[in-house]
């Protein structure tokens, strides 16, 4: 079946942003007196909510009362210093530009704050390619909660049935979200997810290059 809606992840799926995220996270945690995480440690948390990422990188040492301050500090750091360093993966712009001609609608789901997401989409010149964008501040749940689809995405795309929807992402969280919501999943192997764990979840498609997504969105035909 040809898909009519593609739900995209951002970091590690459409954009190369690990170094930027790692730098901003190190700056934030260091300012609060926590040990600086390595690039690989940060890599394992890409795809999690910002709150969960901070908890993981501080090994649970951040208090519940302190967590909102760290989240705010990270968002401020990213908005000020991180947006300009993010780059699209090769082929992404052409893929997104071509979606309307194939009658595939698109949604973008990100754990970034609204301001940072808007700044990033504007700088990368891809904001116009999405029919819906959701930041962490627009929703009350995160991937892999299926309510993210039923409450926030599905109502925006009336007339599109679940078999016509595919989730495209690079992490376990993306695959689990698709499966929990009853949607097809496409794992992009070039991103930041753990290859063994992602493959074990048996996504419907696995691609190693952005250009392969055109084939996937046609239902593999």
List CB contacts of 103: < 8 A, sequence separation 6 or more: 4
Overall domain count for the chain: 2
Report the helix count and the strand count for the chain, using DSSP H and E: 10, 8
Examine the fold and report which residue of 49, 66, 85 is the final residue of a domain before the chain moves on: 85
pLDDT above 90: residue 115: yes
Residues 107, 213, single domain; the answer is yes
DSSP string, 153-184: IGGGSTT--GGGEEEEESSHHHHHHHHHHT-E
Q: Looking at the structure, tell me whether residues 101 and 129 fall in a common domain.
A: yes
Quick one: how far is CA 153 from the chain centroid?
Answer: 15
Question: Is residue 45 located within the same domain as residue 61?
Answer: yes
112 shares a domain with 65 = no
Note whether 193 and 98 are same-domain residues. yes
> Which residue range(s) make up the domain with 39?
18-85
Which of 62, 85, 108 marks a domain boundary?
85
Question: How far is Cα of residue 115 from the mean position of the Cα atoms in its chain?
Answer: 16
Looking at the structure, do residues 124 and 35 belong to the same domain, yes or no? no
Kindly state whether residues 23 and 11 are assigned to the same domain: no
Contacting residues for 88 by C-beta, under 8 A, at least 6 apart: 14, 15, 16, 124, 126
Is residue 112 within 8 Å of residue 135, measured between CB atoms?
yes
pLDDT band at 171 (very low <50, low <70, confident <90, very high): very high
Q: Contact, 54 vs 74, CB < 8 A?
A: yes
Q: Which residue has the higher pLDDT, 162 or 1?
A: 162
Same domain, 32 and 73: yes
Q: What spatial distance separates the first Cα and last Cα of the chain, rounded to whole Å?
A: 8
Question: 96 Cβ partners below 8 Å, 6+ apart?
Answer: 14, 106, 126, 129, 130
CA distances from 61 to 24, 29, 51, 67 (A): 19, 11, 12, 10
**Domain containing residue 76: CATH number:** 1.10.150.240
Q: Are strands 87-88 and 165-169 parallel, antiparallel or unpaired?
A: unpaired
**Mean pLDDT value of segment 81-85:** 88
Average pLDDT score over the chain? 94
Whether residues 98 and 118 fall in one domain:
yes
Q: Are both 193 and 138 inside the same structural domain?
A: yes
Q: Could you tell me the CA-to-CA distances from 177 to 19, 142, 159, 169, 201 in Å, in that order?
A: 25, 9, 21, 10, 11
| CATH code of the domain containing 137 | 3.40.50.1000
Q: If you average pLDDT over residues 120-143, what whole number do you get?
A: 96
pLDDT above 90: percentage of residues in the chain: 90
Q: Are residues 69 and 94 in the same domain?
A: no
| Same-domain status, 102 and 10 | yes
């Amino acid at each position: 079946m040809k898909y009519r809606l593609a739900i995209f992840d951002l970091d590690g799926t459409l954009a190369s942003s690990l170094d930027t995220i790692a730098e901003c996270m190190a700056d934030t945690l260091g300012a609060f007196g926590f040990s600086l995480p390595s690039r690989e440690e940060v890599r394992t948390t890409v795809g999690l909510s910002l709150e969960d990422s901070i908890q993981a990188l501080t090994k649970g040492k951040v208090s519940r009362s302190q967590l909102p301050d760290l989240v705010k500090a990270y968002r401020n750091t990213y908005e000020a210093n991180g947006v300009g360093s993010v780059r699209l993966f090769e082929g992404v712009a052409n893929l997104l530009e071509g979606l309307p001609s194939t009658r595939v609608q698109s949604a973008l789901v990100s754990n970034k704050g609204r301001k940072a997401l808007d700044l990033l989409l504007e700088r990368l010149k891809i904001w116009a390619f999405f029919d819906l964008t959701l930041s962490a501040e627009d929703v009350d749940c995160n991937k892999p909660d299926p309510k993210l689809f039923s409450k926030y995405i599905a109502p925006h795309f009336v007339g599109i049935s679940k078999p016509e929807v595919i989730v495209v992402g690079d992490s376990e969280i993306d695959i689990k979200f698709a499966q929990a919501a009853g949607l097809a999943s496409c794992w992009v192997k070039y991103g930041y997810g753990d290859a063994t764990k992602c493959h074990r979840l048996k996504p419907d498609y696995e691609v190693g290059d952005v250009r392969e997504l055109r084939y996937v969105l046609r239902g593999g035909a």
